[in-house]
Chains A and B, each alone.
Chain A
Amino acid sequence: MCGICGIILKDHNNPNFSIGALLYQMMESQQVRAQDSAGIAIFNNINSHNNDLFYNLAYLMESPTEIGEYDLIEKKVSTTIPSNEQVQLISRLSEDNRVSIIGCEKEMKLVKNLGLVKDLDKKYNIKSMKGSHGIGHLRIATSSKVDPSNAHPFSTTVMPDIAVVHNGEISNYSKLRNLLENKGYPFYSNCDSEVIAVFLVDQLLKHGDIQRAHDEFIQKADGPFTYIAATNHSLSLIRDKFGTRKGIVGYNPGKNGYPAFWAMATDLSALDIVGANEYVKAASPGKSIIFTI
């Protein structure tokens, strides 16, 4: 019973609005659904580094003195595709039990940790984060451990700037993961949701079409799920073919002093609290709703 949410501003060219504050409100209104961990990913293509040959490898490192305390660390990498140096670094980090690798970031800022959304804000000041779109997640663990590596959003180290939050279960996770591992994709957690991010990356590397990637996933994945995926050019809401998990979209035309934006979430309360209660509709089972920049 996780809680997911996402926001995309209608005017993408002015991403100096603190979208983090809106995501914070949406997450807090759904906190009752899940309390194990919280995480967000926010995309900002203006304030990010414009150099194509630059991104960060982000990972969480457990404090050597306090067990359960993690710090976000970013290591600069000067290439758009994984270099040998980076592969070696990732390989070394993934053998360290105190490290949880969370992905590659260029225009995206991804933070996640154990605890409530207010704990996340206290640590990383998420309310002040600016950007054009973003996603948030509240986790209650069903199938894997409660630790930062299994917290959402999930990203990959193969392609920068893709993040996924998920509510439900991918029951054929093991099968899909084996297929992707056989193709050479690395996994850094035991959470079924990670397979969505890696699957989408595999598809995007093949044909670059996010709509087709989601359609393929709906066909291949089994189980009850709703997920929100964000890339630097899109925000999408996807439901399984039987519509067994909730997923709704609403629009705020610019009320309450906010700029106009589209919002998506698990619960209606999350849309209400940010005034996104126009054109409210549930995503159709087996379909994706995609907003692009």
Chain B
Amino acid sequence: MNPRDKFVIRSSILELAETGTPRNISIDDKLRNEHKEREIEKTINIWDSITALGAQLSRPPYDPYREIINLGISIGRKQCLNKVVLSMPLIIYDNAIKIEETSLESLHIALDRLAIDSNTNLGLISENEIKNRKFSHFKRINKKSAKVEDYDSEGLVLQYNDDKSLQFLTDIRREFNGPILVEIDDDFQKYIGPLLDTGADGVIADTIKITNNARYKGKHALRVIRDVRYAINQYYAGRENDGIVLMVAGDFNNTGRIVKSAALGADIIGYYTSLLIANAANHYEISSNIHTVPDRICRHILATKGELKGVPAALGYSDFYNLSPADLRTSSIETSLQADIAIEGIDKTYRQIIEELIDEYASEKGIEMNKEKKRELVVQLLTHR
């Protein structure tokens, strides 16, 4: 969620608190009006125009089959000796924003409780040093430490800035045996190969940051996921994928978006909602205290876990990571174009429809067209539709 949207929501809540009178316009409508003014409705609505295909719902139910749904994921490639195993595909992501001590404490208690009481190990990306924890911590670092002991976390996160980042990664890889995740920018296509060669165990694509940069201006988060996954697949073309993970972060604040992102190729979602709960509760609720806020975070995470198991089960999977783009359909041409999702009822992407149209036309008119020429024509028709 961007700061302007947050402002609209907060000001609406405060307005209600101050006046005590019912609103004549809902917060959703207010946001929509705001988007219309800023002409960003098109990209925001892409999330809502995607549905999951329930093709396998036609099967008879198999109770034992449906009850076991795997959400667990291991982070770490072959070279990583101490892999981290998460119970569900979420890592609490601090968005590199400074979080207040009280909120962080509530969050840490919640993550500990989830690990101990509910056998649910989530990851947390944070710069802070966290002692005596039961959950997996991925420490954000930006300079090499003098001592190995300083890397007091299960995993590390570093930002790719330039070619020096590769040297930085090489140095750390030598000393650190846990998984190393690297945050990429909109130029990732240029360096993703060397980055994976150097030993990154996963890449983090912050879709908000990337879509704010020139190369992805006006494009949707889904396009970023699709492109990064494609780049990773290209890296592994003709070879076995040895376990690289793609983590996406940004505007993923509910189960629907988590599922849609996973289907498009994300392995792990950077989740900010738990931090928002902690922050909001500690800031705006007088009655909240250090014990009730973690409870609320735990309930939210466990509810999300239940929902995440429900979707693959309904689609006939026993493993969350078997979701694929083939499970998605869209009612919007824009969405089909951004993320190569098939259009409902036709079961073809918009690109495929255009390609077939060109083939038919060329064959009807007897026009010889090589692959390169056809590709150019497709791009032209899609761009100037």
The interface of chain A, by Cβ under 8 A from chain B, is 143, 169, 171-172, 174-175, 178-179, 182-184, 222-224, 242, 244
Q: How far is the CA of A143 from the CA of B241 in the complex (A)?
A: 28
Task: Select one of A174, A242, A244 contacting B325, CB under 8 A.
Answer: A174
CA distance A143 to B58 in the complex (A): 11
Residues of A within 8 A of B323 (CB): 175
Which among B93-101, B174-182, B231-239, B282-290 touches the partner chain? B231-239
* Inter-chain contact A182/B324, CB cutoff 8 Å: no
Least CB distance, A92 to chain B, in whole angstroms = 15
Q: Give bound CA distance, A138 to B156, whole Å.
A: 54
User: Which residue on A lies nearest to B64, using beta carbons?
Assistant: A242
13 contacts between A and B (CB under 8 A): A169-B56, A169-B59, A171-B56, A174-B324, A175-B324, A182-B237, A222-B316, A222-B318, A222-B319, A222-B322, A223-B316, A242-B62, A242-B64
B240 at the interface (CB under 8 A from A): yes
Tell me if B135 is interfacial: C-beta within 8 Å of chain A.
no
- CB-CB nearest in chain A for B321: A175
Q: How many A-B residue pairs have CB under 8 A?
A: 53
Given A178-B324, A224-B59, A244-B62, also A171-B237 (CB < 8 A): no
Tell me if B65 is interfacial: C-beta within 8 Å of chain A: yes
Closest to A168 in B: B59
Query: Complex formed: what's the CA distance from A184 to B324 in Å?
Result: 19
Q: Is the interface of A mostly helix, strand, loop or mixed?
A: loop
> Is the interface on chain B under 10, 10 to 19, 20 to 34, or 35 or more residues?
20 to 34
> Which of A174, A179, A222 makes the CB contact (< 8 A) with B241?
A179
> Which of B62, B233, B238, B315 sits near A184, CB closer than 8 Å?
B238
Q: Is the interface of B mostly helix, strand, loop or mixed?
A: loop
In the complex, chain B residues whose CB is within 8 Å of the CB of A223: 56, 316-317
Q: Do B65 and A242 touch across chains, with their CB atoms under 8 A apart?
A: yes
Contact check, A174 vs B315: say whether CB atoms are below 8 A apart.
Answer: no
Cβ contacts under 8 Å, A222 to chain B: 316-319, 322
Q: Complex Cα distance A171/B59, Å?
A: 11
Question: Within the assembled complex, what's the spacing in Å between the Cα atoms of A179 and B68?
Answer: 24
Interface mask (B306-330 → A, CB under 8 Å = 1, otherwise 0): 0000000001111101111111000
Residues of B within 8 A of A143 (CB): 55
Assembly CA distance A178 to B315 (angstroms): 18
* Chain A min CB distance to B246 (Å): 14
Residues of B within 8 A of A178 (CB): 233, 324
Complex CA distance for A178 and B62, rounded to whole angstroms: 27
Smallest CB-CB A-B distances: 6 pairs: A172-B322, A174-B326, A171-B316, A174-B324, A175-B324, A242-B65
Our pick among B59, B240, B322 for the contact of A175 (Cβ within 8 Å) is B322
0/1 interface trace, chain B 62-98, chain A, CB 8 Å (1 if under): 1011001000000000000000000000000000000
Contacts of A172 in B (CB 8 A): 317, 319, 322, 324
Q: How far is the CA of A171 from the CA of B241 in the complex (A)?
A: 21
Contact in complex: A224, B236 (CB < 8 Å): no
- Tell me, rounded to whole Å, the shortest Cβ–Cβ distance linking A153 to chain B: 24
Known: A183-B237, A222-B319, A242-B64. 9 other contacts (CB 8 A): A169-B56, A171-B317, A172-B317, A172-B322, A174-B325, A179-B241, A182-B236, A182-B238, A223-B56
